[in-house]
Every structure is written in structure tokens, then in C-alpha cells.
Structure 1
């Protein structure tokens, strides 16, 4: 695999991890997955610093 393919794979993997993190905090996994596709590591930061929703 070339360098750009690895970057795409890493970006997609990070977006799936972010979706799982968001669901764990009571947020929409789909919305955060889509946001992560655009924002990448910034979305991870936003998910981590936001407090969990009351369930």
C-alpha cells in the first residue's frame, strides 16, 4: 500500500474509534462518525473534552 492509502485507512479507523467514544458518552455515533470524517483528530479532542450526557 502506498502512503496515501495508509492515511485514508488511518483516517477511517480514527473515525470509527471516535464513533465508539461518542456512543460511550451518550452521543450519536453516526453524527460523530460523519464529523470525524471531516474533522479527524480535532473531533477526537472535542469528544474527549465534552462531558458525558446524562442518561
Structure 2
């Protein structure tokens, strides 16, 4: 066994972080916000982005 961590050791962490980013994108779209922007923010900020997104109010849609 190797004493050094491998990429496979972090695979569950990456999968969880990516799943959280997808969930945040869907949550953002439900609040009329940019799903892509929040997906990318979530990749960087992780659970902190979730907290911010949950606390933000829903954006009213513009009616023309």
C-alpha cells in the first residue's frame, strides 16, 4: 500500500462537491437566478454558496 494519497482517495469528496453544485444550480433557477453562475460559484464556495443562496430572496420576474 502506498503511503501517499491518490486521486481515487478524493473521488467521493469531488463527487459530493459536484452534486452540491448541481443542487445549488437547480435551487438558483427556482429563485429566478442564473443556474450556471451559481453552479460555478458553488464549485468554488461549496456549502457557503448553499447558505447564501438559501438566504437570498426570490427574484421577481420582469413583466413586459
Query: Residues 18-37 of structure 1 correspond to what in structure 2 (within 5 A)?
Result: 18-37=24-43
Between the aligned partners of 1:13 and 1:3, the Cα distance in structure 2 is 17
Name the structure, 1 or 2, with higher relative contact order (CA <8 Å, separation 6+). 1
| Uncovered stretches (5+) of structure 1, i.e. residues with no partner | none
Query: Residues 1-55 of structure 1 correspond to what in structure 2 (within 5 A)?
Result: 2-55=8-61
Aligned partner of residue 54 in structure 1, secondary structure: coil
Task: Please give the TM-score of this superposition, normalised by the length of structure 2.
Answer: 0.81
**Count of residues paired in the alignment:** 54
| Uncovered stretches (5+) of structure 2, i.e. residues with no partner | 1-7
More helix by share: 1
Tell me which structure has the larger Cα radius of gyration: 2
**RMSD, matched Cα:** 0.8
Deviation beyond 6 Å, 4+ runs, structure 1: none
Task: Please give the TM-score of this superposition, normalised by the length of structure 1.
Answer: 0.94
